[in-house]
Amino acid sequence: MSWSKLNKTINAHSVIPLDALSCRDFGVNLPVNFPFNKAKFTCQALAMLSQLNDYDLKMVCADIIQICANPNAQNSIKHSRNPLRRLWRTKYPFRNYHFLIEYSLKNNFINLEDILFDRQLQGAKSNFAAERTMLYEVERRSNHTYNKAMKRKEIEQIQGAWDPVPTPTTQVNTQHAAVNGMQNELTKAAWLMGTHLDRAYEGDGIKAYTLFHNPTDYAKLDLIECAFDKRSGTKSHNAQHLAAVLAQNSQQGKQVKWLAHSQGAIIFCAALEHYRIYYGKPLTGQQLAVHGSGSNIERLKRIAHSTGLKVIAVRNNPYDLVPNLAGRNDLSSSSLVRSMKFKGLVTDGSVGESPHTLPFLGLVTYAAQLEMLGNNEKADVVRKFIKTLPPTDARL
* 108 CB-contact burial (10 Å; exposed 0-12 / middle 13-18 / buried 19+): exposed
pLDDT computed for residue 24 by the predictor: 85
Q: Using H for helix, E for strand and C for coil, what is the string for 28-91?
A: CCCCCCCCCCCEEEEHHHHHHHHHCCHHHHHHHHHHHHHHHHCCCCCCCCCCCCCHHHHHCCCC
User: Mean pLDDT throughout 307-322?
Assistant: 96
Task: State the pLDDT at residue 119.
Answer: 81
In the predicted structure, residue 138 carries a pLDDT above the cut 80: yes
Contact 180, 264 (CB under 8 A): yes
**Contact by Cβ (8 Å): 290, 313:** yes
Q: How confident is the model at residue 87 (pLDDT cuts 50, 70, 90)?
A: very low
The pLDDT score that the predictor gives to residue 92 is: 62
pLDDT at position 281 is 92
Closest CA to 209 of 289, 132, 89: 289
CA angle 396–183–161, rounded 5-degree value? 65
Whether residue 205 is predicted with pLDDT greater than 60 in this model: the reply is yes
216 pLDDT more than 50: yes
Burial class (CB in 10 A: 0-12, 13-18, 19+), 253: exposed
Q: Among candidates 145, 153, 242, 238, which has minimal Cα distance to 191?
A: 145
pLDDT exceeds cutoff 70 at 8 = no
Percent above pLDDT 90 for the chain: 62
Question: How would residue 229 be classed by pLDDT, with cut points 50, 70 and 90?
Answer: confident
Percent of all residues in the chain with a pLDDT value above 70, rounded to a whole number: 91
| pLDDT (average), residues 267-288 | 95
Task: Band the pLDDT of 11: cuts 50, 70, 90.
Answer: very low
pLDDT number for residue 395: 94
3-state secondary structure of 387: helix
76, 95 contact by CB (below 8 A): yes
Strand partners, 3: 101
Per-residue pLDDT at 80 exceeds 70: no
Quickly state the pLDDT bin for 74 (edges 50, 70, 90).
Answer: low
Rounded CA gap, 226 and 189, in Å?
17
* 267 against 5, higher pLDDT: 267
* Average pLDDT rounded to a whole number, residues 191-207: 97
106-132, pLDDT tens digit by residue? 888 888 888 888 888 888 888 888 888
Three-class SS state of 306: helix
Q: What is the pLDDT of residue 88?
A: 37
Q: 225 vs 86, which has greater pLDDT? A: 225
Angle, alpha carbons 368-374-349 (nearest 5°): 90
Give bridge partners of residue 40 from the DSSP assignment.
Answer: 17, 111
Q: What is the pLDDT of residue 122?
A: 83
Out of 36-45, 53-62, 371-380, give the one with best mean pLDDT: 371-380
Task: Dump pLDDT digits (tens) for 150-166.
Answer: 999 999 999 999 999 99
pLDDT at residue 84 is higher than 80: no
* Least confident window among 37-51, 253-267, 354-368: 37-51
In this structure, of 97-101, 162-166, 384-388, the range with the lowest mean pLDDT score is 97-101
What is the C-alpha to C-alpha distance for residues 213 and 217, in angstroms, rounded to an integer? 13
HEC sequence for 28-40: CCCCCCCCCCCEE
Mean pLDDT across the chain, nearest whole number?
Answer: 88
Smallest Cα–Cα separation from 218: which of 311, 86, 325?
86
Query: What pLDDT does 98 receive?
Result: 82
Provide the pLDDT for residue 79.
40
pLDDT of residue 268: 97
